[in-house]
Amino acid sequence: MPKTVAFLNKKGGVGKTSTTFHLGGELARRGLRILLVDADAQASLTQGVLGPEATAALDPALTAAAVFDECGVTVTGDLIHATAFKNLWVLPGSEAAERWNLAEPWNETGRQYLLRDALEEIGDRFDLVLIDCPPHISLWAWSALVAADGVVVPLQAEDYGAQGMKAIRKTIAHVQRQANSRLQILGYLVTMYNKALAVHVTYETYLRQLHQADVFQATVPLAKDYKEAVTQRKPVCEHKPKSAASKAVAALADEFLVRLTDRTGFVVPGQARRVA
């Protein structure tokens, strides 16, 4: 199995998909073989990578929806799609996956392990798998945690954006007890951060006091460059490599690799260095 990280928050609109895409692009730029998995039936990550028209044209049998469909494709390698970027692939999402957003997924005795087993089939092709989860705990999100070595919780430094943290910790503990004892919290990541807003600075300080080392030192700023990059179907490191937004993602990648190594034993390949 490659090391696998789920990006999860029960609150939508906190930058999960954007962080997964731009961080994945930066890690691929450094030479790591990255697979992005779109576990959200909205398929926003897939649209960001491939474009909405190409996403709509995908046969559901060649997307993540097939992972849980006993009548679909059983060879995971057939579901992997190349992107326009070296070292970056995607297992696309599909609206057809919505039927598998089952409640109380911990009761899905065999099905909760299907995503883990699917990733195991193609593990030798990748160094890291990054999973973009839906904003709820149903079968897709639960299965991502069952498959993962680590979980990153993106959140905004404000009350609405940070709601649900207690529920996320409770869910992670549940997964650890029942299905995946190796799962580790890599950290809480402050996203869409505006240091000019007193409420953001105050809430960030509060988060660091409350969760200490579990909060990433790196933050993802509120910046139009991320959105512009997605409209060009590019990670920000490819769209504007010298921008402040790109430098912020590079700093995040540095810390992400350190946390992944310290908390899961990931060994960074020698070629995966920071690219100036």
pLDDT in tens, 126-160: 999 999 999 888 999 999 999 999 999 999 888 76
Backbone φ and ψ of 38, nearest 5°:
-95, 95
Per-residue model confidence (pLDDT) at position 146: 96
Residue 51 has pLDDT above 60, yes or no: yes
In the chain, what are the domains? Answer: 3-264 (3.40.50.300)
Pick the closest to residue 227 from 25, 15, 24 (CA basis): 15
Mean pLDDT, the chain, integer:
91
Residue 133, CA distances (Å) to 95, 129, 144, 259 in order: 14, 13, 7, 20
Encode pLDDT of 226-276 as tens digits.
Answer: 999 999 999 999 999 999 999 999 999 999 999 999 999 999 886 565 544
Encode pLDDT of 117-134 as tens digits.
Answer: 999 999 899 999 999 999
